[in-house]
Each structure stands twice: as C-alpha cells, then as structure tokens.
Amino acid sequence: MDITTIIGIVLGFALLLIAMVMGGSFGAYVDVPSLVIVIGGCIAALLTAFPLASLLGLPKVAQKVIKGAKTDPNSLIEQLVGFAEIARRDGILALEGMTAEMKDDLLIVGIKMAVDGTDPELIEQILEADVENMMTRHGVGKGMFDAAGRYAPAFGMIGTLIGLVAMLANMSDPSAIGAGMAAALLTTMYGAVVANVLFLPLADKLALRSEEEVLIKSIIVKGVMSIQSGDNPRVVEQKLKTFLPPSGRGETDDEEEKAAA
C-alpha cells in the first residue's frame, strides 16, 4: 500500500479543515447546493466525455494508486537471470514447468511462446503490443482524473456566477447580501479544493504508476527475448540493468568479487 498517497490526501483536507475552524465557524464553509453543483456537475461532465464502462472502472483505477507498485525491478531481474541460467544449462524447454512461479501474465505468455518455438520477431511484436495496449488503458484512467481536475473548478465558477446572479436579483434586502456572497464563493472554493487536493494529485500519481509498470513490462520483454536467443546469464543481467538508474543497479558479480578481494 502506498501510504504517502493516503497521508497526502488526508493531510491536505486536514489542513483545510484546521484553517476553517481557526478562521471562524466551520458551519460557514458548509453549503450543500454549492457542493451539489461542483460534484454533480463534475460527474455529468465526465459522463459526457467518457464511456460509461470507463467511468465504472474509476474506483479500480483509484485503488491502483493506493496499492502502489507490486513488483520490484531488481527482484524481477534476478528472477529472469535465474531463468536464463536454467535455459542455458538445461535448455529452454526446462522453463515450461516453471510458469507457476511467474506472477506476471506478460512473462508467462512470453516464456510459453519461447518454449513453443515461436518466431522471435512475432514474440516481440505480441509482447510490445500488450505493453502499448496497457499504456493506452493507463492513459484513459489518468485522463479521467485530469478531466475531473479541470471540470471541478469550472463548475465551481459556474456555481459562483449562479449565486451572484441570485444575490443581485435580490438587492432589496441588504442584510442578505453578505450571506449570499459567501455562499456564492463557496462553490469556487469547493471546486479548487477537490481539484488540487484529490483529482490532479491522483492523476499525477497514476502517471508515475504507469511509468513504473511500463518499466517492469519493458524489462520482461527484453528478458524474454534474451532468454529466447540463448544469451549468457551475465549478458542478460547487464542488458536488464540498463533499464535501472545507476544508483539502483547494485553490484554485478564481477564487482562483488573485486570488492571481496
């Protein structure tokens, strides 16, 4: 679970609540019609902009943000190097019975095709197409949160304009002008808050999650192709570690031997 996402959202709303309480009565910041305009309008705009099937999958997309990354790149590289050693020693057919140890569907598909003797170019095309389709799905999820982050402030401004029109239409009662102005401004505040504390940060975190998953899938594709071509396990390891930043690569076997000496 990505605890930083939860802390960030909770802290953001908590700071706002504290500021409201310190600034006066908390009840002054509560206006149900304003909230209905912002949230309801945002939902209506999303329904217009995106297919219903995509919107129904939005909770699952949000869950992906909170869960965090599932696979450690270094552990994956270590596993692929292990498979390369087995394939080098016992032949690639020896990997057929090891798919139960593999947790990633793309890795399972790639190894099975390699074991079946599928043409290398075809294996690479299929695996890369799977990665591209995954990126497209991720783009849709991020796009929904980005759109919500744009729509919420816009509907907040619309609600403010509606409130101002209603207030100006009733100028005969000067005592109601202050309350009417406050209620009108609350919709702008609601729109800005949900956009900048919730929707836009979640969209940015989704982009990060997508990059992490693309990295994992790219390592798998390169690893499968190296195993299929019969590369030396050391070569496989060096190929796969190029996907990682220098600080995250650790020491190779040669470097460890030199350090020990």
The answer to whether the CB of 72 falls within 8 A of the CB of 189 is no
DSSP string, 67-112: H-----HHHHHHHHHHHHHHHHHH-GGGGGGGGGG---HHHHHHHH
**C-alpha to C-alpha distance for 251 and 258, rounded to whole angstroms:** 10
Which tokens hold the place of 20? 């409201």
C-alpha torsion 47→50→54→58, nearest 10: -60
pLDDT > 50? residue 99 = yes
pLDDT value of position 260: 42
**C-alpha to C-alpha distance for 138 and 66, rounded to whole angstroms:** 15
pLDDT > 90? residue 47 = yes
Between 81-85, 101-105, 150-154, 204-208, the lowest mean confidence (pLDDT) is in: 101-105
pLDDT > 80? residue 238 = yes
Mean pLDDT over 51-57 rounds to: 91
User: Across all residues in the chain, what is the average pLDDT?
Assistant: 87
Instruction: Enumerate the domain spans of the chain.
Output: 3-253
Mean pLDDT over 140-165 rounds to: 92
> At what angle are helices 73-90 and 233-241 packed, to 10 degrees?
160
> In terms of residues, how long is the chain?
261
Using alpha carbons, list the distances in angstroms from residue 56 to 51, 147, 167, 188. 9, 15, 38, 27
Global confidence as pTM: 0.81
> At what angle are helices 200-228 and 3-23 packed, to 10 degrees?
170
Q: Which of the four pLDDT bands, split at 50, 70 and 90, describes residue 26? A: confident
Q: Please tell me which residue, 251 or 80, carries the higher pLDDT value.
A: 80
Q: Which of the four pLDDT bands, split at 50, 70 and 90, describes residue 181? A: confident
